[in-house]
Structure 1
Amino acid sequence: MDNLISPKADALLNAHIQYVLQQLKPDNLQATLVAEIDLILANAPLITLNEAVTPKMIKDTVHRYAVELELGGGVFDIMGDIARTVYNHEIHQKTTLNDLMSDRQLTDILDKVLEMKDFRERIIRELVANPMYSSLASDVLYHGIRGYVWQSAVGSGGAGTKSLIKFSQTMLSKAPVGFEELVESNLRRYIQKSISAVLMESEHFLLRIDAEKLRDTLLDIWHELKKHKASLAHQFLTSLDVEEFLVIFYEFWREFRQTEYFNVLLNSGIDAFFNRYGDTTLDILLEEVGIQREMLVADALRFAPPILAMMKGKDLLVPMVRAHLVDFYRSDAVAHILATVE
């Protein structure tokens, strides 16, 4: 018998415990869970989102877990284990890229991207204006000119070609030190002076590319790629790369989530949700987000039976039920009722 509880109260407590356990038995559990869910859903039309929670409550909760929460060191070990397991899974060898994305899905994405003409033109102009693009174009022109001159000399096939090459090599060997570097420097300087016109023509060419032709070209590339297995990515990405990217992404996330930018957008998103659904009753809200009664019942029946069976097997169920009820049967209110009510 528990301390400070009368024999009558203890008898009622034990009867109550047995009643709860009876409701949780496999034969009765489904009816019990369905009744509980139906009771909750029956009240859903009576309560709006604003009556249930406030935007501040949601913001504080999201802020705690999305901004303040620091993952323990063990999480990175788990992430590493998961990354290695996923990376090495045999499913990659059995799945083609076309299994992951259909032709229709790719075409829809491609059409949307090509539809964004202003965005595409902005990218081209920024690319051409980038110094790295200018440097790349200069190098391509330089090596192209050198290659053309050399191929023209070697490929002419004339009787004097070999003699000309030999003569040129002899002259270069006798030329002053730095002569070859001087020629190269002058050639590069000439190309640098001419590169603006080349870049302008390059920009015009890229801007004039027909969207339909570009679309057809990209679809041809996809037609070849889609036959490859998903494991194709393993040629470019190792398991260690995946793990390191996870760490890099998390470090980025730790800093990004502290920025005003992230927090303002996060709060704005929550406000937008409440502006739309604040006065909506919970039953309509559940319907709007696609949560149905059958889903709730199915999930309850999926998890509750094995958990209850495990707790019963470990002798945890009865103590837990008793712990929830015992304080009530110890209370002065129950003692007064038992003493005064016939």
Structure 2
Amino acid sequence: MLWVSLPDQRARRELYWMSRMPGTRVRAMARQEPVGDIEWVPSTYRRPITRFVEAGALAWVRGLDEQPPQEFDWVTSLELCSLVTGQASRWRRAARASGARRPLQAVITWENLPDQPLYKVPPYRQALNSCRDADLLLCMVDAARDHLLANDFDDELIRVVKPGVDTEVFHPAERPVEEPVVVFASPLADNKGIDRVLDAMAIVRREIPEARLRVAGRGPLEHLVRAAAEDPSSGVELVGSLDTAGVADLMRSAAVSTTAPRPTWKWTEQLGLAYLEAQACGLPVVTTRCGTNDEAVQPPNSLVDDDVEELAEALLAFLRDPAHRAAVGAANRNHVVAHHDLATQCVAMGAAFAEIEALHAR
């Protein structure tokens, strides 16, 4: 497989999952060295805009035309409207125009907004339309399938395989944490709601003065967390950026996990791997309803409205009742092992590719 990365693609996600599919060898064109057993082609990008989050999708990788198509069964990229997906489509078409049956093309998508406003922007719309003759559209959430159908994609090309987490790295503590410690492990950005969480914890501490909040992450609202952490009366601790093992250790040091996402004009929460990681560590989750995060956060976890008081009350309900949160945490662990184990889900992703390959062979 040839993987064509976005310039800022996060490690241990889609590319890593592809490398974990049985019998799969991956060559990745990427700016940063990827994690896993992957052949890396260090790549640079032409990126005309850098000032907003979607700029990562508005970038072209250099050197794709130098990759020999006959060496690959698949070319794969992330998201329908990324320009590297459009590049992969053109590269694949050029190879197959000469009569070659390979490579096939796969596009992985999380997109859950049926009417994504970015599709109105010409470069993104062109990339989207270039996917219409892809061979496999691999959805990470059920809502992505709904999104594709709403945008007139062929259902026969769509497969849904939910993502997994490493349940050996993310495992519960030997004993449930008794102290009222809440963890936030997510980007410190407006759309992830760290400001809401800080306000909610101030309410929580009126009822449970010993309650504490541990925050992992970086982002534009980091100054809010730093200011709170500098106040000894806040109960806030900023631990900064952590690697995978560090996040797992942080989860195991807490009693409850929380975020408070809110939609923007072109984004809404899709699933949230942090929810799965917390649940794999045996924590209950409290968060706000946003997009399709109900695919990851299900009862008896707490999904509340985007309201500080409701968020605080849901946190208090778990912090006041150690037996209840232990029971919910155990149920969460069992659910993740059954439905989101990384090795199992990577096998399922490989099966989706193999099914399409079999259709083409016939």
More helix by share: 1
Choose between structure 1 and 2 for higher RCO, CA contacts under 8 A separated by at least 6 residues: 1
TM-score, structure 1 length as denominator?
A: 0.19
TM-score, structure 2 length as denominator?
A: 0.18
Q: Which has the larger radius of gyration?
A: 1
